[in-house]
A and B are shown apart, each in its own frame.
Chain A
Amino acid sequence: MSNLLSLTTFLPILGVLLLLFIPKDSKGTLRNVALATTVVTFIVSLPIMFGFQSNAEFQFVENIPWISAGPFVMRYFVGIDGISLWLVILTTFIMPIAVLSTYTAVEEKVKEYMILLLLLETGMLGAFISLDMFLFYIFWEVMLIPMYFMIGIWGGKNRIYAAVKFFIYTMVGSLLMLVALIYLYFKGVEAGFTNFGLLQFFNLQLPLATQVWLFLAFALAFAIKVPMFPLHTWLPDAHTEAPTAGSVILAAILLKMGTYGYVRFAIPLFPEAAHKFAPLIATLAVIGIIYAALVAMVQEDVKKLVAYSSVAHLGFVMLGVFAFNVEGITGGLLQMINHGVSTGALFLIVGFIYERRHTRLITDFGGLSKQMPIFATIFMIVTFSSIGLPGTNGFVGEFLVLIGAFESELRWWTIIASSGVILSAVYMLWMFQRVMFGELDNPKNQKLADLNAREIVIMVPLIVMIFVMGIYPKPFIDKMDPAIKKLVSQVRPLSMSAQKMSEAQPSLPSGHTGIEMPAGHPGMSPETDSHAAPVANPHEAK
């Protein structure tokens, strides 16, 4: 089945067509059809996971002509490697859960809601599998619209503000990216490329000045999406106002677009610029970790707290990715998936209590453990996963990020970032204590029902994933490893590695950030002797 990817991507569209023919009053049918569509999509995506060979090549590739307009030639070119594989699976895995979570939460305009959810799924999957830059851009924008409507129509009190903020923030970034994309394309045309196919552009040797500008444009677009400090303020608003399913998808998948964008586009396309800006981005990432943790600590709204914790977690991802070594990037990718699972679960949890009490203020709760023991257990597991307790998924990713960054030139950044593990424990546990522990003194909380079967069914897969990825992450790492190794060899600019290789004695590579342990031990860059020579780029122009 060579067109498995397209099938997975466009199945939700099929579901949309089906939904169009269902009268809007039969809400049950609408929900079930949407759920069935996402479940089928997930099942269809499973062969992708099992059939994926652990090597660095793009697999399940489809490459057919699409648009040809003058100098612009776009192709329908899709495929996945170890980096995008898990994000595709994460998307198809989260979607049924998100749909199931809306069964009682959304009562108005169910048909439209479901249609938007399915459109969103297509957009996200398409963006993860696109290997044509223009195709990627199209899907990137396709994701934006349904989310805008979901926040704007089904959101909370302040939904219009949040939706517009979300939209404009993202749009500013993506338009800049579009400009950069077209500029890059013309550079490619000069070099003899004939289409937008991504892989050939990895070979493009651009002068540093050009790289810097293009990198900045791409980086800004992705930084907004991640979101990185100080471009993060749309996130708390969007999350607080969005309906539960919207928050879950936003946190679990949409934010990954930003970090994925760095890994797939910004870094391998402009490796030298990426190296140049690594200290800056690492600084922002570390500020984000600490800043978001401190701000999360004083939040009064549970959902806002979780939103800020997202900013902190994605700071770890960025730090890992910009370590430019296998450990760091592996950790970053794992952390992306972990964050999808854990924070998705946290937003679902917040949704559960919101549905029951129609408030999210921490002060309105307290002592819920007594009334809702199952909920308490699940909440606790997810909390500790978010804190990154060993044995849960959060730990593996966070640890690899930190150790990878420590090995790289970002040593001091790592030390500061590590203190984020203290702060994350503080704000999560404090919140948990205030919501779940203590006396059950609010009379409104005394009749709260524990989770029902549907809600447990929603949470169980996430809990299972938390432990599977924490205890046996090997299958995940094994599949992504070759692709990451290739990426690492790509992002080490040829000139730079040549320079490093020529340095026989272990001394700090010049022209870099120049961080060294104070004890005065030679800080030879660890990559030099571990991953042999810079591999010539194997991609051929398609």
Chain B
Amino acid sequence: MLDYVWLIPFFPLVGFLINGLLGKKIKNEAVIGAIGTLAIFSSFIVSCMVLLEMIGLSPENRVFEKVVFPWIHSGNFKADMAFLVDPLSCVMIMVVTGVGSLIHLYSIGYMHGEEGFYRFFAYLNLFCMSMLLLVLGGNMLVMFIGWEGVGLCSYLLIGYYFHKKSAGDAAKKAFVMNRVGDFGFLIGLFTLYWWLGSNHNIWTINFTEIKAASHLLPYGGVVTIATLCFFVGATGKSAQIPLFTWLPDAMEGPTPVSALIHAATMVTAGVYMIGRMSFVFIKSPETMMVIAVVGAATAIFAATIGTAQNDIKRVLAYSTVSQLGFMFLAMGVGAFGAGIFHLMTHAFFKACLFLGSGSVIHAMHHALHKGHLHDDAQDMRNMGGLRKAMPITFLTFLVSTIAISGIPGFSGFFSKDEILWQAFANPYHGNLNYFLWATGAIAACFTAFYMFRLVFMTFFGECRINSKVKEHLHESPLVITIPLMVLGFLALIGGYIGMPKLMGMLPNYFEHWLDPVFELATEYGAAYAHHGEHSSHALEWGLMFGSVVIAVIGIGIAATMYTKNSTLPKRFTDAFPSLHRAVYNKWYIDELYDFAFVNPCKSFGQFLWKGFDVLVIDGVVNGVAGVVMGFSGIFRYMQSGLISNYAWSMAFGVVVMLGYYVFK
């Protein structure tokens, strides 16, 4: 089956071509939806078979490369359309195709009746293809196709409602910010390629070949530069500081898009990329530190913003940024397995949360539409008490919220706790560890707070929607709730495959599975790791208990503020008006970027055009022409047009010339 791994991205491609080219003619939503969903579901089946086959192999043989066709060969440079199957890409293809299939199914219900239904499914399939290329790519360039391809699809899908200016703006912003990241990725690629090539004559961008040659890479130095560049790429794709502002805006896209692209898959590409090249990243202690710090900072920074948003999807968006911060924190402290683990559990519960919010929005929209009201269907201030009308949505949403908050027994707990523990106990960052842990823990507290705030505002309390339309609120159809239930279930139990050793009930299957991928990194890391003073079981239990307490505190605050005493939030915002305004306006980061980059670029462009191009360059050009014309304006009077004048001057010239020769 491994030989047919190319089928995995191929099916969505077929789906894209059919829906994209013929969708307009097909018209029938059921057919279009079925084609799109079947395409990705077929990939899921193939992925399962690949996974099973990989499990059947012994751990050290779990690497398989498949060259589909030669792509760019020129001089030293060689890049094939090659796929790499190893435990890491197996996890990713399972997540992408699995969650992807569910979201496709969901979209059939959610997008029902939308103009351009076929377009949506075509883009969705194209996205899945790109994402699968990204995770299966056997070299950096194939990864880069996927990398940019998902950016393109994100652009297309965010801009799906292209008639809205905000959607167009958001789409462009997402693409451009991703491009900034891509710039970093490219430079990183060039640096690594050039250094290995010119120093060791290994001209390659192939992951397995780089891995084989990675012992030649120095610690720090050029590797720091290359990995920092790669990390810039990761911050763009995965919405980390400083390139995170596009993700909240990306919520302009339809909700399934937010679930698939901006929660479960695309935004995790940066994490995946670091995992894929862990053996390079670990060789630069500086980069690892930067990643950890940026991850932790993003986790807390986005979490603070999440506490003050009223748009249900925006809360989830900031939550995603924050959770991605956790993943980067894990990567930065060398806990690659934990990062990928959190990536997976996050895919489950965050996809479930987004789809659940979609279900809510769908119901709200429907109800408001029935009542001919134009209230915002996404504003939580209009919601409340929805748990009675939408029990399935509520239940799955609650499960996922508990999971993300890190309550023991749910998937998020296992992964997040592992990350926090590693942040504290990792051997790489010395005293920075305390700071990393503390930041992560506070962010976790915020997470619990804003997520439960969301749940309380949406599902509990009084129903604040206009009473006229209350009776129109009802649960979404099965095609929407089935994916919710599946994802909710996964959010509940998905963590048990990666139970910490400490608890000892189950072996940590997940880490063992990924061990062959990351063991080289651990080996390299040992060179500068200082092992430690603080890694006792008691401490681990203690910290675990601590993080649970923190989560419960967060929930408790949310419960006090948003269920019992509803004046508390208002009193709080009145007490700190400027703080609230700053948080509500996302710390004015967008404005800062506009001020620092966007506007200067525009005015500099204006200056170069009107000032330099038109005035200076064309001024010189036209000036030369002007001088020539000025002189000719004088000399032209010699052309009197009278033949006798010409004849006289000719005769005069002849006489002068003859005179010169005769009398010289």
Report if A and B touch in the complex (beta carbons < 8 A): yes
Interface residues of A (CB under 8 A from B): 165, 168-169, 230, 232-233, 236, 291, 294-299, 325-327, 330-331, 367, 369-370, 373, 384, 389-391, 395-396, 399-400, 402-404, 406-407, 411, 414-415, 418-419, 421-422, 425-426, 429-430, 433, 436-440, 472-474, 477, 481, 506, 517-526, 529-531
Q: Is the CB of B664 closer than 8 A to any CB of chain A?
A: no
Answer whether A327 and B75 are a contact pair too, CB < 8 Å, given A415-B187, A433-B172, A521-B199. yes
Do B194 and A326 have beta carbons less than 8 Å apart? no
CB of B624 to closest CB in A, whole Å: 9
Answer whether A297 and B602 are a contact pair too, CB < 8 Å, given A421-B179, A425-B176, A433-B172. yes
Do B225 and A326 have beta carbons less than 8 Å apart? no
Q: Is the CB of B584 closer than 8 A to any CB of chain A?
A: no
Q: Is the CB of B608 closer than 8 A to any CB of chain A?
A: yes
Interface contact tally, CB-CB below 8 A: 179
A387 to B159, CA, bound (A): 18
Q: Is the CB of B145 closer than 8 A to any CB of chain A?
A: yes
A7 to B74, CA, bound (A): 32
Q: Is the CB of B583 closer than 8 A to any CB of chain A?
A: no
Do B191 and A233 have beta carbons less than 8 Å apart? no
7 closest Cβ pairs, A-B complex: A326-B75, A437-B168, A519-B221, A390-B145, A294-B605, A298-B605, A406-B190
Do B186 and A421 have beta carbons less than 8 Å apart? yes
Measured between beta carbons, the chain A residues less than 8 angstroms from B186 are 399, 402, 418, 421
Do B149 and A390 have beta carbons less than 8 Å apart? yes
Do B163 and A526 have beta carbons less than 8 Å apart? no
Q: List 19 A-B contacts (CB under 8 A).
A: A325-B75, A327-B74, A331-B74, A367-B163, A370-B163, A391-B149, A395-B148, A407-B194, A425-B175, A426-B601, A429-B172, A437-B165, A438-B162, A438-B168, A520-B221, A521-B222, A523-B198, A530-B76, A531-B75
A370 to B116, CA, bound (A): 10
Do A477 and B73 have beta carbons less than 8 Å apart? yes
Measured between beta carbons, the chain B residues less than 8 angstroms from A526 are 76, 194, 197-198
A298 to B603, CA, bound (A): 8
CB of A542 to closest CB in B, whole Å: 30
* Nearest opposing residue in chain B for A438, CB measure: B165
Question: Which of the residues A402, A419, A517, A524 comes within 8 Å of B225, measured between beta carbons?
Answer: A517
Do A295 and B613 have beta carbons less than 8 Å apart? yes
Q: Known pairs A297-B605, A521-B195, A530-B203; list 5 more (Cβ under 8 Å).
A: A169-B621, A327-B76, A395-B148, A399-B141, A519-B222
Residues of chain B in range 158-214 having any CB-CB distance to chain A below 8 Å: 159, 162-165, 167-169, 171-172, 175-176, 179-180, 182-183, 186-187, 189-191, 193-195, 197-199, 201, 203
A526 to B191, CA, bound (A): 13
Question: Which of the residues B141, B144, B171, B199 comes within 8 Å of A524, measured between beta carbons?
Answer: B199
Residues of chain B in range 600-622 having any CB-CB distance to chain A below 8 Å: 601-602, 604-606, 608-609, 612-613, 617-618, 621
Measured between beta carbons, the chain B residues less than 8 angstroms from A165 are 621
Residues of chain B in range 216-231 having any CB-CB distance to chain A below 8 Å: 218, 220-222, 224-225
CB of A415 to closest CB in B, whole Å: 6
Do A326 and B74 have beta carbons less than 8 Å apart? yes
* Nearest opposing residue in chain A for B24, CB measure: A373
CB of B426 to closest CB in A, whole Å: 25
Q: Is the CB of B152 closer than 8 A to any CB of chain A?
A: yes
* Nearest opposing residue in chain B for A234, CB measure: B621
Do B163 and A295 have beta carbons less than 8 Å apart? no
Residues of chain B in range 123-173 having any CB-CB distance to chain A below 8 Å: 141, 144-145, 147-149, 152, 155, 159, 162-165, 167-169, 171-172
Measured between beta carbons, the chain A residues less than 8 angstroms from B70 are 474
A437 to B165, CA, bound (A): 7
Interface SS of B by simple majority: helix
A531 to B74, CA, bound (A): 12
Do B69 and A472 have beta carbons less than 8 Å apart? yes
Do B183 and A407 have beta carbons less than 8 Å apart? no
Question: Which of the residues B73, B167, B194 comes within 8 Å of A406, measured between beta carbons?
Answer: B194
Question: Which of the residues A425, A439, A530, A531 comes within 8 Å of B179, measured between beta carbons?
Answer: A425
Measured between beta carbons, the chain A residues less than 8 angstroms from B224 are 519
Do A474 and B187 have beta carbons less than 8 Å apart? no
* Nearest opposing residue in chain A for B616, CB measure: A230
Measured between beta carbons, the chain B residues less than 8 angstroms from A367 are 162-163
Measured between beta carbons, the chain B residues less than 8 angstroms from A370 are 163
CB of B252 to closest CB in A, whole Å: 12
A521 to B219, CA, bound (A): 12
A126 to B659, CA, bound (A): 51
Measured between beta carbons, the chain A residues less than 8 angstroms from B159 are 433, 437
Q: Is the CB of B72 closer than 8 A to any CB of chain A?
A: yes
Measured between beta carbons, the chain B residues less than 8 angstroms from A517 are 191, 195, 222, 225
Do A230 and B617 have beta carbons less than 8 Å apart? yes
Do A403 and B198 have beta carbons less than 8 Å apart? no
Q: Is the CB of B71 closer than 8 A to any CB of chain A?
A: yes
Question: Which of the residues B145, B168, B194 comes within 8 Å of A433, measured between beta carbons?
Answer: B168
Interface SS of A by simple majority: helix
* Nearest opposing residue in chain A for B625, CB measure: A168
CB of B269 to closest CB in A, whole Å: 14
Most buried by B among A330, A425, A525, A529: A425
Question: Which of the residues B163, B197, B199 comes within 8 Å of A407, measured between beta carbons?
Answer: B197
Measured between beta carbons, the chain A residues less than 8 angstroms from B73 are 474, 477
Do B162 and A436 have beta carbons less than 8 Å apart? yes
A331 to B198, CA, bound (A): 20
Measured between beta carbons, the chain A residues less than 8 angstroms from B191 are 406, 517
Q: Is the CB of B528 closer than 8 A to any CB of chain A?
A: no
Answer whether A299 and B172 are a contact pair too, CB < 8 Å, given A330-B74, A390-B145, A519-B222. no
Measured between beta carbons, the chain B residues less than 8 angstroms from A331 are 74
* Nearest opposing residue in chain B for A408, CB measure: B194
CB of B628 to closest CB in A, whole Å: 10
A529 to B74, CA, bound (A): 16
Measured between beta carbons, the chain B residues less than 8 angstroms from A436 are 162
Do B198 and A524 have beta carbons less than 8 Å apart? yes
A395 to B141, CA, bound (A): 11
Q: Is the CB of B434 closer than 8 A to any CB of chain A?
A: no
Measured between beta carbons, the chain A residues less than 8 angstroms from B77 are 327, 400, 403-404
* Nearest opposing residue in chain A for B148, CB measure: A390
Do B201 and A529 have beta carbons less than 8 Å apart? yes
Residues of chain B in range 70-102 having any CB-CB distance to chain A below 8 Å: 70-77
Do B75 and A330 have beta carbons less than 8 Å apart? yes
Measured between beta carbons, the chain A residues less than 8 angstroms from B225 are 517-519
Measured between beta carbons, the chain B residues less than 8 angstroms from A438 are 162-165, 168
A403 to B205, CA, bound (A): 11
A338 to B267, CA, bound (A): 31
Do A298 and B179 have beta carbons less than 8 Å apart? no
CB of B392 to closest CB in A, whole Å: 36
CB of A528 to closest CB in B, whole Å: 9
Measured between beta carbons, the chain B residues less than 8 angstroms from A530 are 75-76, 197, 201, 203
Question: Which of the residues B74, B76, B145, B221 comes within 8 Å of A521, measured between beta carbons?
Answer: B221
* Nearest opposing residue in chain B for A373, CB measure: B24
Measured between beta carbons, the chain A residues less than 8 angstroms from B612 are 291
CB of A501 to closest CB in B, whole Å: 15
Measured between beta carbons, the chain B residues less than 8 angstroms from A373 are 24
A421 to B147, CA, bound (A): 15
Measured between beta carbons, the chain A residues less than 8 angstroms from B201 are 529-530
Answer whether A422 and B183 are a contact pair too, CB < 8 Å, given A429-B172, A473-B71, A524-B198. yes
Measured between beta carbons, the chain A residues less than 8 angstroms from B148 are 389-391, 395
Answer whether A421 and B168 are a contact pair too, CB < 8 Å, given A295-B608, A436-B162, A437-B162. no
Residues of chain B in range 440-477 having any CB-CB distance to chain A below 8 Å: none
Do B74 and A429 have beta carbons less than 8 Å apart? no
Do B176 and A429 have beta carbons less than 8 Å apart? yes
Do A414 and B190 have beta carbons less than 8 Å apart? yes
A531 to B197, CA, bound (A): 13
* Nearest opposing residue in chain B for A531, CB measure: B75
CB of B542 to closest CB in A, whole Å: 42
A437 to B604, CA, bound (A): 26
A34 to B215, CA, bound (A): 64
CB of A430 to closest CB in B, whole Å: 6
